[in-house]
A and B are shown apart, each in its own frame.
Chain A
Amino acid sequence: MSVIEAANLTKTYRTFQRRSGVWGAVKDLFYREYEPLTAVDAISFAINDGELVGYIGPNGAGKSTSIKMLTGILRPSGGTARVLGYDPYSERKTYTHHIGVVFGQRTQLWWDIAVQESFRLLAKIYRVPEPLFKERLGQLSSILGLERLLATPVRKLSLGERMRCDLAASLLHRPRVLFLDEPTIGLDTLGKDAIRAFLKQVNENFGTTIILTTHDLREIEELCRRIIVIDHGRIIYDGALSALKAMPGIKRSLTVDFSATVSPGELIRLFDGKIPFEQQGERRASCEFDPQAIIPAEVVRTLMNALPVADLTLAEPSIEQVIMKIYRDGAQ
């Protein structure tokens, strides 16, 4: 059953070019040439109950704008969004009872009051009964290690601590859908690991549907089975992460160390010039090749039979490389 549905969802902003200088600013006051800017261009997708989906794209691709339409902050210029059966924008006040949202860039908590006071206020806002609130707070703070932080005002927390508190805050009312916009931005490895592990738990234990935007592709690799890639406001990939790596044109890289000097000509001849080997010193060479054109095992066997191979590394493409490739292809 799908809980999030976007159909031709579109957002167009009216922008104008500011003229430079003081006189330009004065002219801007009286006359502006507006140009429509389509930030999100007729995107459609459906996300099922309990899915954990990575929503990625370069800066300015339209990620945040789509998230803001799905969470009811922005009114779509066209198309429709439906989450849990609600129209996020027009039914905002009822709808937001059922979702949790975390923006990595800014906190949902009250700056000057202790974390637990913020939590208590949120429980009132979302009508969580006291016993249930206590139970959930206990649970969340033991998983996220918040006990020590509860009495601290938010402004005194470190970024990592604040993020953990924000996550707990977004889950007190046990939302069915959780939107996370760059939840690990600026965190160190330890902080990222803690949050990643926690999100996995939330998704598995509570069956919470999670949609996650991030620039950290390791995060995506570890958490999401499905990714949606957006660029220039359009969806350029929607599918399994594993299928992405098997896409044509995604290269494998090979590094070989020899026990004796091997000339570059020898290597090129060995594969009839099909693989562009590069010399990396006297006894080392490396190359990239398309595994769909030449079978990797074949390459290794040929090398081993013909040359004095000492060591050999065959690497899968990194997720970064894969994503970079789709961005490039999508841009064309």
Chain B
Amino acid sequence: MIYRSVALYAAYFAQFLKARLAYRADFAASLLSNLVGGAAGVLFVFFLMDGKTITNLRGWSREEILLIYGFSTIAMALFSFVSFNLFRFGDRYIVQGNFDRVLLRPLNSLCQVLFETFNIESLGTLAVGLAVVSYAGRRLGIAFTAMDYLWLLLGSLSGALILLAVFIFVASLSFHFEDRLGVSAPVYNLINFSRYPLPIFHPVIQFILQWIIPFAFSAFYPAAYFLKRPELLPYCYAVPAVAVVSLAIAGTAWSFGVRRYCSTGS
């Protein structure tokens, strides 16, 4: 069953790739712009904390911040790979009625929406993220044992799934409010907070990022595992569980929305 689904969505991906690569110049340009965009953010942190004017942020060193930033970049890249349709879900699927077509196929509706478009260009961002993590990791003296690699995989995958869950939840609001609610843009901007150490923020923001929109678990806690700050470790270990719970809540909100789906006119 799972094998069949994987094979099927791999076929979705192959089809998408074919269509996407048909416009070669366009593809190359956006791959490049993703790479540059990803690198620009990192270089900003790198030069801002150049060790002369700003050496640390409330006790967090440049390398530590770069590590968190790198984790965030990886999670964002994995998330952007499949999330594109969530941001235009209300418009493209509900208002324009494409969700009818989704429901007519003998497949899970959410998977179809996620896997009908891929953002292949985000592979450029992924490369940037991996480079930053490996640079910051070496500067911090991380040994990169097999266990560390496993955590890198598990942590960033969980981080991406948390981002995905939040935006599945936001997209599922479109089932109830057809009049395009502008929620996803402000929530998306909140992701920026996840690229820095949580303790530097005001307690209210910390509370929101930890317990309401759990972006703190998307990059900061996965990265904190490497930072030798024992008081954070329990939260680090909770990261995969937070991902599972977030996805369960988002999935429930989605199915509840599908039940309320009214389709459009004609």
Contacts and interface: CB of A to CB of B under 8 A. Distances in A.
Interface string B130-148: 0000000000000000000
Interface stretch (B99-107, B164-172, B246-254): B99-107
B259 interface: yes
Contacts of A72: 103-104
A121 B18 contact: no
B151 interface: no
Interface bin, chain A: 20 to 34
A89 B265 CA distance: 19
A206 interface: no
Interface residues of B, number: 24
B104 A110 contact: no
Given A112-B19, A117-B18, A126 B104 contact: no
A25 to B, nearest CB: 9
B189 interface: no
Contacts of B97: 106
Contact of B106 (A13, A64, A93, A110): A93
Interface string A58-71: 00000010001001
B53 interface: no
A81 interface: no
B241 to A, nearest CB: 29
Interface string A137-179: 0000000000000000100000000000000000000000000
A125 B101 contact: no
Given A93-B108, A96-B105, A126-B106, A74 B262 contact: yes
Given A74-B261, A106-B97, A121 B15 contact: yes
Given A64-B266, A103-B100, A125 B18 contact: no
A92 B103 contact: yes
B105 A125 contact: yes
B11 interface: yes
Contact of B100 (A68, A121, A126): A68
12 contacts: A13-B262, A64-B266, A72-B103, A73-B103, A73-B104, A93-B107, A96-B104, A96-B105, A101-B104, A103-B100, A121-B15, A125-B8
Interface of A: 13, 64, 68, 71-75, 92-97, 101, 103, 105-106, 108, 110, 112-113, 117, 121, 124-126, 153
| Shortest 7 CB-CB contacts between residues of A and residues of B | A112-B19, A96-B106, A73-B103, A97-B106, A113-B19, A93-B106, A101-B104
